[in-house]
Structure 1
Amino acid sequence: MNPRAVAAAPVAAVRAGLWQSEGMGTVVVVGAGVAGLTAARDLVAAGHDVLVLESSARVGGKLLRATVGGVSVDVGAEAMLNRRPEGIQLARSLGLPIVHPTSASSRIWTGGSLRPLPRSLMGVPLDLDQLAASGVLSPEGLERVRREPGLPPEPLVDDVSVGALVDRRFGPEVTDRLVEPLLGGVYAGNARLISARAAVPQLVAYAGRGSVLEQGAAVPVSDAPVFAGIPGGMGQLPTALADGLDVRVDATVRELVRTAAGFSLTIGSTTSPELVTADAVVLATPAAPTARLLGSVAPVAAVELAGIGYASMAVVTFAFDASSVPELAATDSSGFLVPPLERHRIKAATFSFAKWGWVREAGDGLLLLRTSLGRYGEETALQTSDEDLVAWSLADLRDAAGVRAAPVDTHVQRWGGGLPQYAVGHLDRVARIRAAVAAVPGLALCGAAYDGVGIPAVIASAHLAAARIVE
């Protein structure tokens, strides 16, 4: 029996355990982002009846396309890691083609210039020659890096922030000018607050054995692309995932209650509540709403989830007539990152037309690019008008890349509370959450708050959640 059919069951009867579904294996998945939709597909494939409930008016979570200058492009996540298999495998299983970025390379805007981004591990330098040639560091900062191989191994007993570990081994200048902009792109966070074990475990492993620089330099440079995408945009992935699933949008779950038969979920307003029951529930929602729903079901997990912070950001997309920006049309750069200490408004710019062949082709004379703004703790900077975000972005594009033309079209996409922050101790927090949830039969969690914010990591968490329910 499909869970949707029980929506009108009397609330009192369900809570008293008097109402029973006519079949087994009914599952409600809360959240229709990539995690929730992936878990739902896994569960349907395993023979369960599944209903997906989504509070917003669409599926996809942080994957979204919009039309800018007549071209449909991503205004959320625009790529996934190619060196983790989950995203590639899922896209191909859905019949979606995979493409990789062009050979255009990224830059870093520091010291008044766009400089080459040296080979690194999340900003931690792995090639001294490239680092020296980039001019990113001062002579004193570069000399500090050269001394890193002489430092003793640093096995970590407890967790530490990425910034603290890099400060000790390479000096604060590396943290400020290289690590911060890279972590800002992934987490929109602060390097001196983000967990090294959770965000850059390879760095922790290297430091525990000896010189990070020497070990990193010894790793052969791979020819495999770092990133992958989908022609037409990553926003197609959730649409394809949702095809064939029973998904209900505009359905905010206000309460989750454990019953004798499984679970009941209250949807809708307090004056006209609607009830759905299920044998099992998967919560694929951000930490805050998950904490709210688990208040009575798994209170220890709820408290831990409430402690996970989130960063807000905005993506501003532009379409320029190629003839008006010849300096961009001829670029060999895919964009640039901005260290926070430079005190510019944007934290990064992606030249989508140069990074993705399909974007340049679809533009047909228009050049599509985007900027991102907002870091953890800077929410007030985004509490302004769309016009201000556009103007700030254009000012920085002018100063960094010489872009002086007026755009043909613009689009502003705000992601309030979009990126979870993996604070020091995050892995221990997640372990406590999972232990508490494991004590509740038929309950599972997945999403970006746990094991990684990238698309492959989120998909992996969904597979694990579905497997828990199946087991």
Structure 2
Amino acid sequence: MTQAGQLAGTPGHASAPRAIVVGGGISGLVAARELSLTGHQVDVFEASPRFGGAVASHQVAGLDLDAGADSFAVRSTAVADLATELGLGASLQSPNPAGSWLYHAVDGAKRGGPRAMPMPATALLGIPADPWAEDVKTVIGAAGCVRAATDLAMPVTRRQAKEPISLGELVAARMGQAVLESLVTPIVAGVHSADPTTLDVDTVAPGLRAAMAEHHSLARGVAALRASAPAGSAVGGLAGGMHRLTGALLAELDAAGARLHPGTPVVSIARAEPSHDPSEDGWDVTVEGRETPESADRLVIATPGPAAVDLLAGLLPDAAALRPKTGHGIALVTLVVDQPELDAAPRGTGLLVAPGTPGIRAKALTHATAKWEWLADEAGPGTHVLRLSYGRLSDAPGTIPADDAVLRDIAIADASALLGVPVSAADVVGWDVVRHDAALPFATTGHRDRVEAFRTALAGHPGLEVVGAWLAGTGLASVVADTRARTSITAS
């Protein structure tokens, strides 16, 4: 497979409508595939040296591992359908059902410091479907359950059901601070790298408020959403790693004659000179280092939000007010360790850490060989893959050490504390640090309304589409479904 395909010599290809995709992350590659399938000649321009964005690979201790996303939500079939179309259907897998744990310092002074406990089984983003469940009581105590259960009898207000509100504000109003601080915050901080009091509820939990209004409580709304989801695990993966999705997309694009341009930033876009028929007007795309603009009938912007808004500044002057914020970036530390005591998977498939937990700097730990059977088979008994995540949107710049070796040592200490099993530098047989700078979409309260305003403004420019997590929502399921819906238009 090559990273730069050649045009296919098929009859009529020269007269095919041309499409340009700016950005070669997963949304850009999915958009390029849809356009290719609908008869377009496609060029993909990616500023970095490689394609795939957060769905990429790296090799550690001889193992090919995910350097970014390692799973996808199965609330829809979007990712599974795409994987099947790409010939990866037989590789779809569910993770170990043991699930993940929580680690935080609730009542730490009374109970001897931070502690680990299994994640409540019936929760959605930590919001319990049953406030009286024993695994919920273990985390928030009897008093916390009493407060959470008031949600079952509390009327749903108009603000809670209809007006802009954060996930944290909704949870606190319906179920109280114990649920917010001990259940929701650790999970949201681990998954979205942010404080739930800043995140738009409709973006991070689509359909939750509608279900709450229909069933007259937040808990019953969560129960309804869980009941309507596919049976089994909430997430899925691919044997061999999610990065295989990127490889399969690139291979298909290459075979279809798409032209792939890594390390090729786009610096500006503009409407082409108007013709007598506005429906036939196209786009001019200026690529760094090239004097002559590239022309296209259709244009898809698939860059991170800030870059997209900057490219569109001349076309959508009001879009500057909709420019999303980004965090300071995250770092993923992968440790491959020789530690047979971890064969028992003492903390399930990993842990999510509450912000401010004493002695721990990681926001989450994934015990990858406990989570994925295929990886445990590849690594062999006694060898374990641990991935620790660092960086939240609330962190100050410079919170994550810039020196990889320093961060590795922090990760080793964190892994020992979180797993309850000693892990030393001598146990580490391989390690790597992957950094994603300012890469986190930040869906603050009212984000859904801002996205709708942006889409409305975009509708005045036929032939132009913008896709990506900053609009669709975080996660492969959201990105794949939205991108396919917006780009799978039959070529004229």
- 1:356 equivalent to 2:369? Answer no
Matches within 5 A, 1:9-20: none
Tell me the residue number matched to 2:199: 194
Task: Work out which of the residue numbers 348, 352, 365 in structure 2 matches 1:333.
Answer: 348
Letter in 2 for 1:337: L
Matches within 5 A, 1:259-278: 259-260=272-273, 261-269=281-289, 273=291, 275-278=293-296
Task: Work out which of the residue numbers 14, 35, 38 in structure 2 matches 1:43.
Answer: 35
Displacement of 1:109 after TM fit?
0.7
Letter in 2 for 1:224: G
- TM-score, scaled to structure 2: 0.86
Structure 2 CA distance for aligned equivalents of residues 396 and 149 of structure 1: 38
Matches within 5 A, 1:62-461: 62-96=54-88, 97-111=91-105, 112-118=114-120, 119-131=122-134, 135-155=138-158, 156-209=161-214, 210-217=216-223, 220=227, 223-243=231-251, 244=254, 245-260=258-273, 261-269=281-289, 273=291, 275-301=293-319, 303-310=320-327, 312-323=329-340, 326-331=341-346, 333-343=348-358, 344-365=360-381, 366-378=383-395, 379-401=397-419, 402-406=421-425, 407-461=428-482
Letter in 1 for 2:60: V
2:20 touches 2:44 (CA, 8 Å); kept in 1? yes
Distance 1:254 1:131, change over 3 A: farther
Structure 2 CA distance for aligned equivalents of residues 275 and 403 of structure 1: 58
Structure 2 CA distance for aligned equivalents of residues 460 and 133 of structure 1: 33
The more displaced of 89-98 and 131-140 is 131-140
The more displaced of 425-434 and 254-263 is 254-263
List runs of 5+ in structure 2 lacking aligned partners.
7-13, 106-113, 274-280
Letter in 1 for 2:174: R
Structure 1 CA distance for aligned equivalents of residues 104 and 175 of structure 2: 18
1:87 touches 1:456 (CA, 8 Å); kept in 2? yes
The more displaced of 457-466 and 250-259 is 457-466
2:136 touches 2:145 (CA, 8 Å); kept in 1? no
Displacement of 1:311 after TM fit?
5.5
Structure 2 CA distance for aligned equivalents of residues 134 and 380 of structure 1: 37
Structure 1 CA distance for aligned equivalents of residues 356 and 178 of structure 2: 10
Displacement of 1:31 after TM fit?
0.8
Displacement of 1:64 after TM fit?
1.1
Letter in 2 for 1:373: Y
Displacement of 1:255 after TM fit?
0.9
Structure 2 CA distance for aligned equivalents of residues 465 and 202 of structure 1: 20
Identity percentage of aligned residues: 30
Letter in 2 for 1:208: A
Letter in 2 for 1:205: A
Displacement of 1:222 after TM fit?
6.1
What SS does structure 2 have at the residue aligned with 1:67?
A: strand
1:304 touches 1:433 (CA, 8 Å); kept in 2? no
The more displaced of 339-348 and 161-170 is 339-348
For 1:324-354, what per-residue CA distance to the aligned partner results, in whole angstroms no more than 9, with x for missing partners? xx14545361011111142531111110000
Structure 1 CA distance for aligned equivalents of residues 313 and 475 of structure 2: 27
Displacement of 1:51 after TM fit?
0.5
Structure 1 CA distance for aligned equivalents of residues 403 and 133 of structure 2: 40
Structure 2 CA distance for aligned equivalents of residues 52 and 78 of structure 1: 24
2:212 touches 2:222 (CA, 8 Å); kept in 1? no
What SS does structure 1 have at the residue aligned with 2:207?
A: helix
Tell me the residue number matched to 2:108: none
Tell me the residue number matched to 1:59: 51
1:24 touches 1:279 (CA, 8 Å); kept in 2? no
Letter in 1 for 2:430: D
For 1:164-217, what per-residue CA distance to the aligned partner results, in whole angstroms no more than 9, with x for missing partners? 011111112211121112222332111000011222233322443422224545
2:137 touches 2:144 (CA, 8 Å); kept in 1? no
Letter in 2 for 1:44: S
Aligned residue pairs total 449
1:177 touches 1:341 (CA, 8 Å); kept in 2? no
Structure 1 CA distance for aligned equivalents of residues 64 and 283 of structure 2: 40
Structure 2 CA distance for aligned equivalents of residues 93 and 24 of structure 1: 23
2:336 touches 2:386 (CA, 8 Å); kept in 1? yes
What SS does structure 1 have at the residue aligned with 2:144?
A: helix
What CA RMSD, in Å, does the superposition of the two structures yield over aligned residues? 2.4
What SS does structure 1 have at the residue aligned with 2:337?
A: strand
2:57 touches 2:68 (CA, 8 Å); kept in 1? yes
Structure 2 CA distance for aligned equivalents of residues 409 and 247 of structure 1: 33
Letter in 1 for 2:150: R
1:352 touches 1:368 (CA, 8 Å); kept in 2? yes
1:79 touches 1:234 (CA, 8 Å); kept in 2? yes
2:339 touches 2:423 (CA, 8 Å); kept in 1? no
1:253 touches 1:268 (CA, 8 Å); kept in 2? yes
Displacement of 1:136 after TM fit?
1.4
What SS does structure 1 have at the residue aligned with 2:369?
A: helix
Displacement of 1:110 after TM fit?
2.0
1:126 touches 1:217 (CA, 8 Å); kept in 2? yes
